[in-house]
Structure 1
């Protein structure tokens, strides 16, 4: 695709929290640096049947998963078509993260569903998806993918922290981008909030009312994931295999578990930030986005650990909610321009790469 002044791309994000499809129509334009504008963005709830299927996707047979792949792609395509019609949008393409079912880069496996053919045919637009597989083939983690967006769209921040189903952080380190998953987040917070009759712990009020359990906090801090160095990522499998067994060792109240998780996550994230601060700088800034940015209690716990070194910045609601969809739109744009959209310094792959499969036809003029 040849250069042009402005690119309008829709980004789709279906995260591990499973709370709906984030859809953001964005304009991108480049002078010295890339800049953007989110034209319109919404979170579209999943239809109940699809929501339940996505939650159970890792338990399906191969045939059932292929059927869900097509069905989910078709629903996303129809949703995009309705979104464009309602708001009179005319995007160049759709860039979709898809919904992660399996992520096991150590055995060269990553699976995001939301079939590209079904999505393209149902929306009437070209589609870019399957962003992770090339990087995994090249020996990388295939994650996180957002850091190149942090580097090129949010240059004014020293650190970018996304608090979604899993917490991940991105930073500049002497001109090289570093990023990795730091710990679980809403995947575990929501699991215990459901025990209290709520889909999530609003404002961290349940956690605030609980007490930290020292022996569980110590066990969490000792998990093998935190001993890994360099590129590393977490997936739903790690929650089941590593975290829940520790948290279920004793009969504790959900409030106390949530308090303990809040302290643990704040410790994990603060350690990474403080390990990468510049001693001579008193003006470093941390951008916080994702649903966890609304968890007031957690933000206070994190701030208490880093405020002497780094200022926490909570941006406008649209950026909190739709930064990942925005960045996937940007990844799609880079793929169409045949520019690298995945950084080896982040994933551990053998080289930077330009991931994503393109479906549909583009005007090459």
Structure 2
């Protein structure tokens, strides 16, 4: 019976730097929809790691190589803690997203740190990681990668939307899976909430007390990215170049910045959802009740949120699933989503040495 199932640890570190999401999940090899998250945990980053990962974008090549190893060791030790705490003994492999430092697919660049070899050596398990690089080499965006999971695990929904550092969407159109990044979300809102001494704006309370700055809202909605056709994806670099300077030039009251940005997100997200749709919303932003309320208003939909476990761990779950597909040499990157030259099976495999 056991060999009908594959047992995987999946891990994800998002751009909003909340921490490392870990899942221990089992998939039925003959019917992937038959999956179960057995254990799930988020390990928050220490302030030291947060600062290192924030600054990594400015590091030299040599310093980044060191950080890749250092972060791989840290991930390996974190996974070992997870295994020990949950008394896990059956593991076919570990699938790791790594942490994105650069993402400039238009320049042929994407970098996720967290050395797969270090993780394999420390955990003594096979590791599958670096899912984006091959896609970028094939002319794709290297993102989003989650839609293959939406296609094969969550096909009952018309739209799958993740509200993380960025909002991204995945849906079926003319029998093809379409997906793209919609707009920044937590990467911007957390940045400003932290100026008031909060990690994030819980339930959107600070935003709900602010006023909409109409000029700022209009300029945000007019950013060139929103006029582009998919496939398209966003990175921290774009936010630092286009969004922060724009906000800082037009508004300095944090509640009003957050209120305006919630409105902006709701407008952009609602613009991609058709009426009477069944929508799956996951990611940390799903707990921002004010944001979800505004998305409902703008899209004229009633959104029913899934379990907290799925909200928090869907991306880690799907990276485990990407590993399953790569391990079986099956397609896990869709040309229709990333714009690559072809569908392909992406990810590098490392065995302990």
Give the TM-score normalised by structure 2: 0.96
CA contact (8 A) 1:285 1:311 kept: no
Counterpart Cα distance in 1 of 2:102 and 2:179: 21
Counterpart Cα distance in 1 of 2:16 and 2:28: 31
CA contact (8 A) 1:164 1:186 kept: yes
What stretches of structure 1 of length at least 5 have no aligned partner?
Answer: none
State the partner residue of 1:92: 92
SS at match of 1:102: strand
Deviation readout 1:133-159 (Å, 9 max, x if unpaired): 111011000000000101111121110
User: Against the structure 1 CA distance between its residues 86 and 33, is the aligned structure 2 distance closer, same or farther, given a 3 Å change threshold?
Assistant: closer
SS at match of 2:271: helix
Of stretches 244-253 and 178-187 in structure 1, the one that deviates more from structure 2 is 244-253
- Map 1:143-158; keep pairs closer than 5 Å: 143-158=143-158
Deviation readout 1:216-270 (Å, 9 max, x if unpaired): 0010111010111020000000101111121111243010010100011100010
State the partner residue of 1:324: 315
Q: CA deviation at 1:35?
A: 2.1
Q: CA deviation at 1:4?
A: 4.2
SS at match of 2:249: coil
State the partner residue of 1:8: 7
Counterpart Cα distance in 1 of 2:204 and 2:62: 40
Counterpart Cα distance in 2 of 1:193 and 1:85: 35
Q: CA deviation at 1:88?
A: 1.8
Q: CA deviation at 1:64?
A: 1.1
Aligned residues: 351
State the partner residue of 1:313: 304
SS at match of 2:23: strand
Q: CA deviation at 1:87?
A: 1.3
SS at match of 2:139: coil
State the partner residue of 2:39: 40
What stretches of structure 2 of length at least 5 have no aligned partner?
Answer: none
CA contact (8 A) 1:286 1:311 kept: no
State the partner residue of 1:337: 328
State the partner residue of 1:259: 259
* Residue 293 of structure 2 is aligned to residue 294 of structure 1: no
Deviation readout 1:143-198 (Å, 9 max, x if unpaired): 00000101111121110110000110111112210100000000000011011210
CA contact (8 A) 1:28 1:36 kept: yes
State the partner residue of 1:205: 205
Q: CA deviation at 1:305?
A: 1.5
Counterpart Cα distance in 1 of 2:194 and 2:210: 16
- Map 1:115-154; keep pairs closer than 5 Å: 115-154=115-154
CA RMSD of aligned residues (A): 1.5
Counterpart Cα distance in 2 of 1:134 and 1:113: 15
Counterpart Cα distance in 2 of 1:151 and 1:265: 24
SS at match of 1:162: strand
SS at match of 2:211: coil
Counterpart Cα distance in 1 of 2:45 and 2:245: 30
Counterpart Cα distance in 1 of 2:145 and 2:174: 20
CA contact (8 A) 1:81 1:124 kept: no
Give the TM-score normalised by structure 1: 0.93
CA contact (8 A) 1:26 1:329 kept: yes
Q: CA deviation at 1:86?
A: 2.1
